[in-house]
Chains A and B, each alone.
Chain A
């Protein structure tokens, strides 16, 4: 196909998917049909976007350094699976998962401990809120100095980044149980731990899952950026910074694709877990037809 033909095909596919979306969103439907339409629309939008991207970049001859077409990125992904897998293992399976588990776990445990003292809670909540807004990622060079080039330093960055959102959200969540329910627990003569496990922790779950979701993004960012400051010759952040230096932009996009898939999958899994755990929450209850 000539460049112009590709350009027009891309534009045509985009216009078609957009028109299809216009009519789809007008359809009045209920139940399963509605849900499948709601799923179909963003998928069509994505396909249209990819077609537009491919058409514009190849049709107008955009230099691949600026924006490679999706087909080229896909070729790069399929031809360098072993490298991508090694980078994924180093960055995600080692640094992100370890740091995420430790950071979230520590934030959770500290919140439970702090919650017993109203004084500490009143002090930690504002401080924690502020610290969550700070550019914590800047500690990456320090952690690389302390823990060396390999994955523990990245995991350490992730631990610090994920700790505060978890702490603040769990603290806020532990106050979420209503006055009445607490009084009910008191009339049952429930102990502190019984109240915690049967009432306050379940009530705090929406907050905790909120923190888990925020942290899943933060963890990936933290691990990748920490690798910019020094790393062994494997890892997603390392690959991105070196391939950018060599102007191999399609490889960078391949890494971003992997990161996006990993990020979206972990987010999706968390959302599923949330729905299973907080099935009682109004936002998850579905009216029975």
Chain B
């Protein structure tokens, strides 16, 4: 836990972010399943009751777009620079680490669910066994990133619709994508400064 505590007080040196290109996504669900498989394999055959869907840190929202065609939106923790869950956690269990990722220190979590009601993106779910508020990134993906690999969702995507990298690095693939393609952030008006970018296609 010392490693966690050391990271708690420090200012982020990187700003790791997720990019999802909706124009490339084929809605196959591979990222959703890879997330569960990597981070909470014990939930592979159990449902997340609140969302009435698979227990994954990626939530799939099906809808209909303005032209009447079916659409899909994949939502996960936005690792907000100004995260309400960090601000509201009474016990200091939710924090931002050196990489700018919003993390949970399970030792200091009492399960009050204030982080759940504080998240405008509705991306947290309660693990039925540990009673911890789960979200991206899970321990499995954090291990992958620590080893210099991409998170499971990025690795699993067959359409190359997902990317992950450092916004502070102008040469990173995510920085390049965001410079060259039109993108948006979800609920930008909420003031949370999310770091999850939805790429809409070409310039």
A, B from the same assembly: no
